[in-house]
């Protein structure tokens, strides 16, 4: 069984690499990540000798590899990025093309927010990969929950191959609330993801979280268990004579942002885990019953990171949170990696028959 050499661009903490390595078919040989904390996490898990902690533009030359993976910075494509942060990084697709040209891989996988597929940059990347480098390129939007990740996370996955058709993983899980599919499994829930963790954070293996102010805890206490939202919280605060704890900006916005200050549901996957999941004012990140946001470990499990994945103890917990929110869920990456390895096996067998 052939082991394929793997190059990870914009590697982050190594979520996609972990997913590929978990198949037993891929061996990481090179990675580049500009964020020093994320690069240190990658090094702790996969070795420091082959990871470059620098901007991708500063890589002099990329090595030969069988497969290239990686997700360029997504902030420039995200609809949540109203401030235009990171727009200058949208052009890094050119560095991805350079890595393909120099590394000459048989296949590549790119991950990003769904909006990538509608961008001019993606169209330019696709033309370069197909017309200049000879890949067949397809992009699809996959929901991580459909592949066993306890999180509803829709992401653009772009796959390019030199030989054969583009392989796509088959869904293994479904939404039991809307679909009846006895041939596969129901979505993995938050209850399953958090199984075995103490309800009260114990500080072990990153089961830690935010230390909110007393008035913030009172707000948490007024959100109904197993769901809820800011409107129900506001009504409960008003009923208890605590209306002064409702921010004026919420009073002035009677519609929308229904997930803000909401709780996760025990029997559903988590909602999209972003980089500031420890702030309920950013989304539905409160524990289903405890009066607190989810912890670092709970978020890591919702992202499908196994507990043996190393987040170095010396790092700030906000930096670790950012790495988790920016990562590719390893279980989703594994689903893609399996079908890609099978596709490469077929291509290699065809090459051997032609050579004979």
Domain boundaries, the chain: 4-177+325-347, 190-309
Would you say residue 21 has pLDDT above 50?
yes
Query: What's the predicted TM-score (pTM) here?
Result: 0.93
Q: What is the pLDDT of residue 352?
A: 65
Percent of the chain topping pLDDT 70 = 92
Q: What is the pLDDT of residue 80?
A: 46
Name the percent of the chain in helix, strand, coil, to the closest 5: 40, 15, 45
Q: What is the pLDDT of residue 238?
A: 95
CA distance 284 to 228: 9
Active site residue 13: no
The CA-atom distances, in angstroms, between 316 and each of 38, 197, 209, 220 are 11, 21, 11, 24
Q: What is the pLDDT of residue 237?
A: 95
CATH of domain 190-309: 3.90.120.10
Q: What is the pLDDT of residue 73?
A: 81
Question: Predicted confidence band at 260 (pLDDT cuts at 50, 70, 90)?
Answer: confident
Q: What is the pLDDT of residue 254?
A: 77
From the candidates 13, 74, 302, 352, which is the catalytic residue? 74
The residue that leads in pLDDT, 180 or 211, is: 211
- Give residue-wise pLDDT tens across range 106-150: 999 999 999 999 999 999 999 999 999 999 999 999 999 999 999
- Give residue-wise pLDDT tens across range 315-355: 999 999 999 999 999 999 999 999 999 999 998 887 666 65
Assigned superfamily of 4-177+325-347: Vaccinia Virus protein VP39 (3.40.50.150)
Q: Are 170 and 181 in contact (CB under 8 A)?
A: no
Q: What is the pLDDT of residue 351?
A: 66
Nearest one of 303, 296, 315 to 44, comparing CA atoms: 315
């Amino acid at each position: 069984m052939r082991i394929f050499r793997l190059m990870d661009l914009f590697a982050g903490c190594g979520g996609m690499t972990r997913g590929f390595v978990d198949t037993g078919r891929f061996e990481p040989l090179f990675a580049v990540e500009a964020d020093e904390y994320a690069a240190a996490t990658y090094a702790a898990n996969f070795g420091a000798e082959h990871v470059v902690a620098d901007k991708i533009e500063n890589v002099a030359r990329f090595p030969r590899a069988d497969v290239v993976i990686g997700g360029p910075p997504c902030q420039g494509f995200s609809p949540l990025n109203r401030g235009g942060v990171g727009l200058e990084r949208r052009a890094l697709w050119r560095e991805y093309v350079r890595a393909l040209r120099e590394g000459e891989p048989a296949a590549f996988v790119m991950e990003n927010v769904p909006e990538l597929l509608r961008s001019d940059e993606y169209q330019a990347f696709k033309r370069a990969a197909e017309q200049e480098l000879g890949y067949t390129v397809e992009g699809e939007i996959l929901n991580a929950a459909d592949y066993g990740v306890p999180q509803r996370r829709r992401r653009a996955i772009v796959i390019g191959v030199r030989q054969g058709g583009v392989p796509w993983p088959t869904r293994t899980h479904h939404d039991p609330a809307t679909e009846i599919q006895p041939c596969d499994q129901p979505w993995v829930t938050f209850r399953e993801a958090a199984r075995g963790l103490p309800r009260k954070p114990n500080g072990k293996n990153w089961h830690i979280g935010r230390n909110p102010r007393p008035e913030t805890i009172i707000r948490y206490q007024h959100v109904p268990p197993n769901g809820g939202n800011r409107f129900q919280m506001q009504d409960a605060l008003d009923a208890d004579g605590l209306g002064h704890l409702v921010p004026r900006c919420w009073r002035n916005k009677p519609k929308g942002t229904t997930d803000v200050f909401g709780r996760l549901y025990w029997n559903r996957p988590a909602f999209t885990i972003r980089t500031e999941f420890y702030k309920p004012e950013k989304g539905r990140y409160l524990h289903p019953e405890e009066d607190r946001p989810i912890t670092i470990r709970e978020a890591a499990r919702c992202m499908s990171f196994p507990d043996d994945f190393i987040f170095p103890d010396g790092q700030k917990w906000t930096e670790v949170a950012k790495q988790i929110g920016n990562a590719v869920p390893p279980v989703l990456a594994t689903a893609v990696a399996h079908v890609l390895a099978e596709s490469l096996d077929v291509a290699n067998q065809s090459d051997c028959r032609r050579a004979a």
